[in-house]
Amino acid sequence: MTTAINNSAAATTQGAANNADINSGLNSLASNYQTFLTLLTTQLKNQDPLSPLDTNQFTQQLTQMTGVEQQLLSNQLLQQLVTANQSSGLSDAVGLIGKTATASSGSGTLTSGQVSWPYTLSSPAASGTVSVLNSGGTVVWTGPLSALNAGANTFTWNGKDTNGTQEANGSTFTIKITATDTSGQPVKVTGGLSGQVTAAQQVNGVTMVTINGVQVPLSTVTGVSNTTTGS
């Protein structure tokens, strides 16, 4: 049986790197500002009373420095908001641990040279084929399906097409899976998975949960229920 499967993935962030860049910019600005004031004070002390310095240039430079400072502070505030939002997402994900969750599929976005899709096989497969299609529906890569166990599985693609050319990060793709059993009969393949949530963590700024041993973005979770246990 052939089934088209997608997977949605959130955009990655680089919070630590952004904070480092902002702090570096603020430190550099403070150093330059102090140097500027020292030079200005020295020039004012040694100016010719009969030909005083033109203060327009100094005023313009002060205005420019103030503008840069405001931009850096705005970036810092934005990064703090992003970090707070990520922390909130992780708290939500931790609350799912121990519960039964269902994750659906959406378009897979190539991030850092790879993208993954969860899928479920109704029964063990003897062989299978997976094809990766771009946003235009053109097959860019085809290969054997390696995970053939019944239940939840995941397929990860390295972003390289049939010719070995690396596709661009940010591009979206879908996959199509065909699987058969030992008798050559088709095995049902469905996108997404359902099972108990066992872990939650941040991966490159994306909140991920682990369902049946398969790690998927929190944003793909479409349903949650209390896990029932036998008496």
Say whether pLDDT at 40 is over 80. Answer: no
3-state secondary structure of 52: coil
| CATH architecture of the domain formed by 2-10+97-225 | Sandwich (2.60)
- Residue scoring higher pLDDT (206 or 225): 225
Beta carbons of 194 and 24 less than 8 angstroms apart: no
Order of strands, edge to edge, in the sheet holding 206-211?
214-217, 206-211, 193-203, 100-103, 221-225
What pTM was computed for the model? 0.48
Q: Are 207 and 217 in contact (CB under 8 A)?
A: yes
**14, 206 Cβ separation under 8 angstroms:** no
What is the structure's pLDDT at 44? 67
- What confidence score (pLDDT) does residue 160 get? 97
Domain ranges of the chain: 2-10+97-225, 15-94
Average confidence score pLDDT of the chain: 77
Task: Say whether 75 sits in a helix, a strand or coil.
Answer: helix
Most confident listed range (114-128, 184-198, 208-222): 114-128
Which single residue is written with the structure tokens 């703090």?
80
Q: What is the pLDDT confidence band of residue 226, given thresholds at 50, 70 and 90? A: confident
Specify the pLDDT at position 231.
45
Q: How confident is the model over 174-208, as pLDDT tens digits? A: 888 999 999 999 999 888 777 889 999 888 777 88
